[in-house]
Amino acid sequence: TERLSGQTIPYFAVIDFEGFKKAIDKIGGLDIDVERSFTDAQFPDEKLGFLPPLTFEKGLEHMDGTRALQFARSRHGSNNEGSDFTRGLRQQKVMKAFKDKVLKMNLITSIGRINSLLGIIADNFHTNLTPGEIFRLYNIAKEQNIQTFLSLNLGLETGLVCPAIQEETGAYILTPCEGKT
């Protein structure tokens, strides 16, 4: 990413799939609005094979952690849901639903529940941020209205990224469009 964008990425933070599923299950699942029905017949199982075809029907669906992960990770969906861009939008939708539900639940009033959720996150979260840097980010974020945070998907429709073929490998890549920074 740094080589393509020219931007140094000094920090990272990730939560693994198991933590993702457990955190969603801990808050009782998520209600996700599926915008378009689609089927993914090539969703990987945990044994280097594939699950039976997964179908998501248009409309509101209550998803547990496993189902939400499948919805967020699906790469081969029918009905124009098979691109990395649509997958990114679904991932944003799941993360927003998680954030909204946690805020709605007002977990601060339930010490046991918040400790349990923080334990799941701590066991499955990896970062190169120091505790001091995390605390500084927390202090910055707590003074902001979380509803004003911007989330952006860099799809082709934004005009910010353009498709290209990498000369050395012949790989299809996205690069900043000419004149965009």
Q: What is the pLDDT of residue 54?
A: 96
Strand partners, 60: 33
Q: What is the pLDDT of residues 164-180, one digit of tens each?
A: 888 888 887 888 888 87
Return d(Cα 105, Cα 72) in angstroms, integer: 23
Q: Which residues contact 86 (CB under 8 A, 6 or more apart)?
A: 77, 80
What number of residues does the chain have? Answer: 181
The predicted pLDDT at position 125 comes to 87
pLDDT, tens only, 75-110: 999 998 988 888 988 998 999 899 888 888 876 667
Q: What is the rounded distance in angstroms from the CA atom of residue 145 to the CA atom of residue 93?
A: 19
Provide the whole-model pTM. Answer: 0.76
Question: pLDDT by residue (tens digit) across 5-31?
Answer: 677 888 888 889 999 999 999 999 999
For residue 127 the two structure tokens come to 């970062």
Q: How many CB atoms neighbour CB 99 within 10 A?
A: 14
Six-digit token string for 64: 């547990």
Instruction: Kindly state the helix (H) or strand (E) to which residue 144 belongs, with its residue range.
Output: none
Task: List Cα–Cα distances, 13 to 56, 65, 130, 134, in angstroms.
Answer: 29, 20, 11, 10
pLDDT of residue 146: 64
Q: For residue 98, what pLDDT is reported?
A: 92
